[in-house]
Amino acid sequence: MSDRAYALFEEQQQARGIDLAFVKKSLSELKIETPSWGYGNSGTRFKVFKQTGVPRNPFEKFEDAAQVHQLTGLCPSVAIHIPWDKVEDYSKLRSHAESLGLTIGAVNPNLFQEEEYMLGSVTHTDPAIRRKAIDHLLECVEIARLTGSRDISLWLADGTNYPGQGHLRKRKAWMLEAFEEVYKALDPSMRMLIEYKFFEPAFYHTDLADWGMAYNYALKLGSQAQVLVDTGHHPQGTNIEHIVALLIDEQKLGGFHFNSRKYADDDLIVGSVNPYELFLIFYQIQLAAAEGNDALRDTVNSIAYMIDQSHNIEPKIPAMLRSVLNVQTQYAKALLIHHDEVRQAQEKGDVLGAEDAVRRAFEFDVTPLLHAVREEQGLPRDPMKAYLESGYADRIAARGKDGVSW
């Protein structure tokens, strides 16, 4: 039945001139990093509902992440957050990850949960607090060295709640000073990914509020500094794919934190609210890769696709599976865009033809294609079903309700 579905799909795409061998190869190379904190308990400021079977330590988070990778073949690395994943011996965590077929991905510093940081971390008026914040960032570079991680992912909660509360330009200078010191500590193979967010936890101004500010720091620092786009960190209506195209063109797109938002930084499952936006992001990325320019291709090949979500009311592992499968689906659909068709329509000024050439790819059902790709890789055709039937959820229930938060 489903083989017939794939034969039909193949026929349909070949008739459109789509190179399915290339599509399949691209899909087999897609990698999505999952975040350790996505396996822990989480909630809002109103309530954290503790779930049964949640990991009790960083080692168990990796065990859960390994399930997601084993079933999808998509998620060989796991991002860590320090101090949420602080351990005495990072080589132990690293070999535990490796024994599960995983590597340790981006190291995320945490400059938002210490008492001292109430009025800022690297932008605090007190030099001793700025020092403490920089030392934490340097500690994260060292952890990246020990864990074999390439990326330090920087997100800062720094900002103010009221006009006059802070000196905006002094804070900008302090931030640059901090970044410069951390940048100098990077090994040549490491990258500093600078994430921005337009509000929250600060509500009047955020020191790193948008892609332009992150880009400005990255430009000043050098080629190892790039911008990280968290899809939940923009005002309503922002054209994220335009930001993506621009950053690729400037070779400054380092990675993504994928999630969905409805109103704010809601951390919902990626692709659950706005799958077309995700598809259009991949369209820009794949278009840049297809244009035959080495610099663009290198930038695209180094993009770190990462999930950044907290699953507050849904079971953690199925939520992560849903997330990475949603990313894979939109990635596959974008691969069906016929770039020549779009280009020809653009050149003729055929507005509706161009729009149609893009949208049509989104409207194909890629389920038969994904089944075929998974089968060729020896993976279950339906990873979610395979997980629900695996008995893993019953086994981890023995962990009880003592799981960690984030």
Q: Which is nearer to ligand PSV, 257 or 322 (CB)?
A: 257
Nearest alpha-carbon partner for 104 in 149, 61, 66, 69: 149
Binding partner selected for residue 123 from ligand PSV, Mn ion, none, CB under the kind-specific 5 to 8 Å limit: none
Residue 99: both structure tokens together:
């024994």
Q: Does 230 bind ligand PSV (CB under 6 A)?
A: yes
Q: Does 33 bind ligand PSV (CB under 6 A)?
A: no
* Count of chain residues binding ligand PSV (CB under 6 A): 9
Residue number, nearest CB to ligand PSV: 155
Q: Does 261 bind ligand PSV (CB under 6 A)?
A: no
Q: Which is nearer to ligand PSV, 37 or 283 (CB)?
A: 37
Which residues, listed in sequence order, are joined to residue 193 by a DSSP beta bridge?
153, 226
* Residue window 49-88: x/- pattern of binding to ligand PSV, with contact defined by CB under 6 A: ----------------------------------------
Q: Which of 33, 277, 308, 341 binds Mn ion (CB under 5 A)?
A: 308
Sort strands 159-160 and 205-206 into parallel, antiparallel or unpaired. Answer: antiparallel
**E strand map for 19-171:** 34-35, 77-82, 103-109, 151-154, 159-160
**E strand map for 249-309:** 253-258, 304-307
Secondary structure of residue 315 in the 3-state scheme: coil
| Phi, psi dihedral angles at 291 (to 5 degrees) | -85, 5
Binding partner selected for residue 333 from ligand PSV, Mn ion, none, CB under the kind-specific 5 to 8 Å limit: none
Residue 146: both structure tokens together:
């020990």
Query: In whole angstroms, how close is the CB of 263 to ligand PSV at the nearest point?
Result: 14
Task: Please name the amino acid found at residue 261.
Answer: R
Residues contacting residue 357 through CB under 8 Å, at least 6 positions apart: 337, 338, 341, 342, 345
Task: Please name the amino acid found at residue 336.
Answer: L
- Secondary structure (DSSP) of 374-401: HHHTT--SSHHHHHHHHSHHHHHGGGTT
Q: For residue 198, what is the DSSP state?
A: S
Residue number, nearest CB to Mn ion: 257
Q: Does 10 bind ligand PSV (CB under 6 A)?
A: no
80, 37 Cβ separation under 8 angstroms: no
Query: In whole angstroms, how close is the CB of 267 to Mn ion at the nearest point?
Result: 9
Rounded distance between C-alpha atoms, residue 63 and residue 402, angstroms: 16
Rounded distance between C-alpha atoms, residue 328 and residue 320, angstroms: 12
Q: Which of 39, 62, 90, 155 binds ligand PSV (CB under 6 A)?
A: 155
Residue with tokens 């409805």: 262
Q: Which of 124, 136, 257, 311 binds ligand PSV (CB under 6 A)?
A: 257
Q: Which is nearer to ligand PSV, 33 or 341 (CB)?
A: 33
Rounded distance between C-alpha atoms, residue 371 and residue 277, angstroms: 24
Query: In whole angstroms, how close is the CB of 92 to Mn ion at the nearest point?
Result: 27
Q: Which is nearer to Mn ion, 13 or 310 (CB)?
A: 310
Q: Does 234 bind Mn ion (CB under 5 A)?
A: no
Stretch that binds Mn ion, among 3-11, 25-33, 116-124, 302-310 (CB under 5 A): 302-310
Binding partner selected for residue 197 from ligand PSV, Mn ion, none, CB under the kind-specific 5 to 8 Å limit: ligand PSV
Q: Which of 158, 277, 308, 341 binds ligand PSV (CB under 6 A)?
A: 308
Binding partner selected for residue 265 from ligand PSV, Mn ion, none, CB under the kind-specific 5 to 8 Å limit: ligand PSV
78, 32 Cβ separation under 8 angstroms: no
Helices and strands, number each (H, E), in the chain:
16, 10
* Residue window 194-213: x/- pattern of binding to ligand PSV, with contact defined by CB under 6 A: -x-x----------------
Q: Which is nearer to ligand PSV, 108 or 226 (CB)?
A: 108
Rounded distance between C-alpha atoms, residue 299 and residue 310, angstroms: 28
Q: Which residues inside 239-258 make contact with Mn ion, applying CB under 5 A?
A: 257
* Residue window 100-139: x/- pattern of binding to ligand PSV, with contact defined by CB under 6 A: --------x-------------------------------
Task: Please name the amino acid found at residue 298.
Answer: D
Query: Would you tell me which residues interact with Mn ion (CB under 5 A)?
Result: 230, 257, 308
Query: Would you tell me which residues interact with ligand PSV (CB under 6 A)?
Result: 37, 108, 155, 195, 197, 230, 257, 265, 308
